[in-house]
Structure 1
Amino acid sequence: MRHPPRSVLLAVTGAAALVGAALVPVVSASGATPACTVQYAVTSQWDTGFQGSVTITNNVAAMSSWSLSFDFAGGQEVTQGWNAKWSQSGTTVTATNESWNGSLGTGASVSAGFLGSSSGSNAVPTMFKLNGTTCNVDAEPTPTPTPTGPPATGSAPALHVSGTKLVDAGGAAHRLLGVNRSGGEFMCVQGYGIWDGPVDDAAIKAIADWKANAVRIPLNEECWLGLSNIKPEYAGANYIDAVKELVTRVESYGLTPILDLHWSYGQYTGNSSGCSDVHATCQKPMPDAQYAPSFWSSVAGAFKDDQAAVFDLFNEPYPDRATSTTAQAWQCWRDGGTCPGIGYEVAGMQDLVDSIRGAGARNVIMIGGLAYSNDLSQWLTYKPTDPAGNLVAAYHGYNFNTCADASCWNSALAPVAAQVPLVAGEIGENTCSHAFVDQAMKWFDDRGLSYLGWTWNTWDCSSGPSLISDYSGTPTAYGAGLRDHLQAINP
């Protein structure tokens, strides 16, 4: 998608009045120290919302990661949070550690805050669980449950291109069938974290339970490179380590990670501009020559020994909206440089392929076409040169796109798929239904091609679209189409 369906930069409306903090007392029947203690406070409140905080203290053995859960009883909803990854399913709220505050030693404490909407009494939660252990009571800690179902196996296949197919190390054809996991492209640049929602074992297992075998992970070049406009806790080594950790976890469940440069630097205010900001806060028409090659050289260096990882060069190019002719747009797409209508120096797809190969990586590379990756009409004509021979054409298809039916797919996509592997890196619809994705999946299935649904996030499926209503994998009405299909073809 050109934009994520929401931004976590939510404005608080109404006059906020400071109120006395509502604290949950630490309860101990016998006076012994509980396994963990949680203090919950309402620090300010207004007509339609409030600000809250939790302070967690670990009183047992040190832990390298933590997850706190509690239930609201008054219809409250978390709308924004900090110092933790906040999510809510029904009445249950979950806060999991950020990459930089997961370590919690014996006797150590960590605090996190949030904004919430409320109406009525704004009742204080009465029970808190830390990694499955009930806090504020005398109880021996219980171990975190081991996820049931298919175990993590470390079986993500090493991939390469053979003719028109992606194949594994043994030469068997391998289709990429899965989901996108948005968040890494926007949370860091907006200053609120790295991932949008949990990416722990349970969260990845939920994706695997849909019988997916691939996860596309959108990234932000400024966060990866640690530029000065990004908060240090979400930038540079911290961001890179979080990406590496997620890739390792994804692969441990046999899922192919697809690393996608989603948002990039460069000021563009022309036709179809997503923002006027020079920074990587929206989808730009093309990657920039200043930072994008360095981003891919660094990513390639980090994953060159991992042939299971796939690289997606640039989310959704649209130089055709800036330039006056189709030929100019495709030339800009491949060669970069000074492109008509784009005010910054552009890195072409050939530049980025060269950056990856120059770093010693032979990983499979996906490349989307024009019109937000919806137009592949001249992809073969302008295909970059790759000494490794591992290029894949990437298509994005939504019900509201120009090329969104079998007639167009037959004329524009089938010729490409006859010469190189073709992956639909994003398919989706904004109808809270799945009539379009059903049609798309059938067309791609009939030709043995790959596709991934947008997106594994708990947003409003009519504006997103989003596949799930919670991170345990409960599908939306739209997501049910993808889930049921994947489970049917991969029983």
Structure 2
Amino acid sequence: MQFIRHRARRRIVAITVAVATLAAGLGAILPAVAQSAAGCEVDYQVKSEWPGGFVANVEVTNRGEARSGWELKWDFPSGQTVTQAWNADVASSGDTVTAKHASYNKALGADESVAFGFVGSFGEANEAPTSFTLNGTACTLPGGEPTGEPTEDLTAMETVAAMQPGFNLGNSLDAIPDETSWGNYPINQALVQDVKDEGFNSLRLPVTWDEHQGEGPDYAIDPAYLDRVEEVVNWALEADLYVMLDTHHDSWIWLADMKTNREEILARNEALWTAIAERFKDYPDELLFESINEPQFNDTTDAEKYQYLDELNQQFHEVVRGTGGGNADRVLVMPTLHTSGDQTPVDELVSTFTDLNDPNVAATIHFYGYWPFAMNLAGSPTFDQVTKDNITDSFDNVYDAFVANDIPVIIGEYSLLGGNVEGKVERGEILKFLEFAGNYAREKNLTTMLWDCVPGYDRDNLQFRDAEYWGMYQAAWTTRSGVAETDQLFIPKAEPISDTTVTLEPNDLEFEGLRHGDTQLTEGTDYTLSGNELTIKASLLTQLLGDREYGKKADLHADFSAGQPWRISLISYDKPTIANATGAADSFAIPTEWKGDTMKTMQAVYSDDGSNAGPIEWTSWKEWGEGFKPDYAANELDLGSKFFNDVQDDREVKLTLYFWSGATMTYYVTESGGTVTGTTG
């Protein structure tokens, strides 16, 4: 099947705003910039449109004196909203939109122009705005309604913006050796259509070609396999999705051996991309190619790794462009080393792009969160400032290097790595990560493509298993959500119930109330709010805690003016108790009466000198699920073989157990000849 360039996104709506003259008194509106009685011209173009969304470009020409800063305002006539923008700081208040200069395009000389773009959403209509002001100077629109203009291609930046948000169909065509080898049924058209129905605008299609590529010198791709890949691509395009097609686990199966097998790998890679490019060269530019997934190289220095990746990326570019057709200007996506957002890998890819001098390229990184937080190790169980800084540093790096220079960035795999393991990272901490990272990616104009296997997309029922995770992730596409310091309030069963306070983090939203289920609670009676301090009254807690048996007794929800509500669980608990025990090293567990509490993290040091003990020797804080794992149903805390494999015989280890209620406890273990003795002290 071949596709024509079919999208409504090719329609461009243009408005030209003529020069207007103001009364002399209006010149003092913005004293920080040079004033003029002259106006401006605005070219507003809807360059891409799909059900509920669109990409627009705005070019502003200053017809007055030079300005040291600019601010363009307009009102949307159909209730549209801006969800993402580039080359300007765009904010909305109701229907009014304000676009302000970025740091690098602040100056706007006489008769000079500046352009910016944005992704918007709309309901039933997407009427173009009919009036604008530049620094308070009105720009009038003579000549009636905007008119349609001839079609025009999107830039790479606009293409990638229109792909937000994106979705991976992982562990399928990238599975080894075949599509169903990793437990998924074959991709079908209903699954692809549901991706679109869930609100995604693009599909990343990971494909491992290794088992389906023949021997040299031809390195021919199995035609039946290429047909299968094309079938899925066709389904996605028919569903009005952009598609990003890659070479996936080939990165470590054979491409990683560049140092020892360079000539053969280059020949094989050339044959592979020639076959892919020839098959799809007449496809529309809603199809993008990604050169290599998570590039890595064996037994090499850092300098060699960057050299090999540059060589592979440049070969990919030359091969695809050389096949002509739609490939002559198709957006080609290239990764940093290890798809890292760190500074040096980013700088190296900048160098590659400089050499290529091609406007139709995009960069890609992957982001699964700060490793200690994502895996709950090294004492990082909470979404703290270090974890936030990891997000902002990575996203700032790629924004400054690429986006600010009109090269779009795709976060080709995006999620929290430990988010799919129940209990590994506490639920509220996951939600805070999703809220913050999603919002910051939107601020930096980065397109995110969810790795579907992490949050748990149920392909059998075509829905996300975790509605709360999905809701927070989805909300971040367009807005912020209010959160709080915690989503768990632990109320001691053995003590009288008293008022309990939790600190809200509204993220510039308005708190609109607290509810229990569908019942709106009464401020002053059920709760009070002082600044961001939400105090839940003892009378309400008494009612909801009921019999006060251990465990979660109720959920409250704090509603804000936008985004996902924040859940606050009320938990009845007492401090856990632990007991002495003896058992085999490969299955040892600490007897634990949890009493409604839950495990946060664990520290392990040798009693004699305080040095680190157990797995991951560089830290005393052990990894949830590897160094320790709570079993709440069996009333035990499992340590097991992975812990004692890395503990010295006949040397006592001091364990410090940390619980989400704030409780801490100490326990001592000694292994001798495969038998472990554990004591409370």
TM-score (norm 2): 0.38
What amino acid does structure 2 have at the position aligned with 1:217?
L
1:51 alignment counterpart: none
In 1, the alpha carbon distance for the partners of 2:215 and 2:171 equals 18
Spell out the pairing of 1:79-228 with structure 2 (5 A cutoff): 160-162=154-156, 165-167=157-159, 174-187=162-175, 189-190=177-178, 192=180, 196-226=184-214
In structure 1, the gaps of 5 or more residues are 1-156, 279-283, 336-347
Q: Report the residue type matching 1:313 in the other structure.
A: S
Whether the aligned pair in 2 keeps the contact of 1:285 and 1:318 (CA below 8 Å) is no
- My pick for the range that moved more, 365-374 or 245-254, is 365-374
- Structure 1 residue 436 and structure 2 residue 433: aligned? yes
Q: Distance in 1 between matches of 2:264 and 2:465?
A: 33
Distance (Å, rounded) in 2 between the aligned partners of 1:285 and 1:210: 43
Rounded to whole Å, the distance in 1 between the matches of 2:367 and 2:251 is 25
In structure 2, what residue type is equivalent to 1:370? Answer: L
Question: Cα gap change, 1:487/1:439 in structure 2, threshold over 3 Å: closer, same or farther?
Answer: closer
1:317 equivalent among 286, 290, 295: 295
Percent of aligned pairs sharing the same letter: 19
CA change 1:166–1:269 in 2 (3 A) is: closer
Instruction: Select which of 471, 478, 481 maps to 2:472.
Output: 481
- Larger Rg, first or second structure (1 or 2): 2
- In the alignment, which residue of structure 2 is the partner of 1:299? 276
> Counterpart in 2 of 1:38?
none
Asked whether the 8 Å contact 2:167–2:203 carries over to 1, the reply is yes
1:423 aligns with 2:414: no
Corresponding residue for 1:68? none
CA distance in 2, matches of 1:237, 1:269: 22
**2: CA distance between counterparts of 1:186 and 1:262?**
6
Report what 1:75 is aligned to.
Answer: none
Change (3 A) 1:437 1:227: farther
Question: What residue in structure 2 maps to residue 328 of structure 1?
Answer: 304
Structure 1 counterpart of 2:394: 408
Q: Residue 343 of structure 1 aligns with which residue?
A: none
Q: Which structure has the highest strand share of the two?
A: 2
Task: Report the Cα distance in structure 1 between the residues aligned to 2:154 and 2:476, rounded to whole angstroms.
Answer: 26
State whether residues 310 and 366 of structure 1, in contact with CA within 8 Å, keep that contact through their aligned partners in structure 2. Answer: yes
SS in 2 for 1:451: strand
| CA gap 1:257/1:471 in 2 versus in 1, 3 angstroms | farther
Q: Equivalent residues in 2 for 1:379-390 (5 A)?
A: 379-383=349-353, 385-386=355-356, 389-390=359-360
Report the secondary structure of 2:351's partner residue.
coil
C-alpha separation in 2, matches of 1:417 and 1:287: 35
Correspondence for 2:369: 399
Distance in 1, matches of 2:159 and 2:166, equals: 17
Q: Over residues 168-207 of structure 1, what are the superposed CA-to-partner deviations in whole Å (9 max), with x where a residue is unaligned?
A: 9xxxx62431110013444352585699335323212221
Between the aligned partners of 1:411 and 1:317, the Cα distance in structure 2 is 19
Q: Which has the higher contact order (CA 8 A, sep 6+)?
A: 1
Shift, 1:166, TM fit: 2.8
Alpha-carbon distance in 2 for matches of 1:219, 1:161: 26
Structure with more helix by fraction: 2
CA distance in 2 between counterparts of 1:374 and 1:328 reads 19
Relative distance call for 1:191 and 1:394 in structure 2 (3 A) is: closer
Instruction: Supply the distance in 1 between the matched residues of 2:255 and 2:231 (Cα, whole angstroms).
Output: 36
Q: Secondary structure at the match of 2:333?
A: strand
Query: What does residue 113 of structure 1 align with?
Result: none
CA distance in 1, matches of 2:293, 2:167: 15
- Pair 264,384 (structure 1): closer, same or farther in 2 beyond 3 Å: farther
Deviates more, 1:205-214 or 1:395-404: 395-404
- Superposition map of 1:13-92 within 5 A: none
Secondary structure of the 1:452 match is strand
Tell me if structure 2 keeps the 8 A contact 1:178–1:452.
yes
Q: Which residue of 2 aligns with 1:367?
A: 334
Report deviation, 1:268. Answer: 7.1
Q: CA RMSD in A?
A: 4.0
Q: Residues of 1 paired with 2:412 and 2:179: CA distance?
A: 27
| Cα distance in 1 between the residues matched to 2:208 and 2:195 | 23
Give the 5 Å matches for 1:216-365: 216-226=204-214, 236-264=222-250, 288-306=265-283, 307-319=285-297, 322-325=299-302, 327-335=303-311, 348-360=312-324, 361-362=327-328, 363-365=330-332
What amino acid is aligned across from residue 334 of structure 1 in structure 2?
D
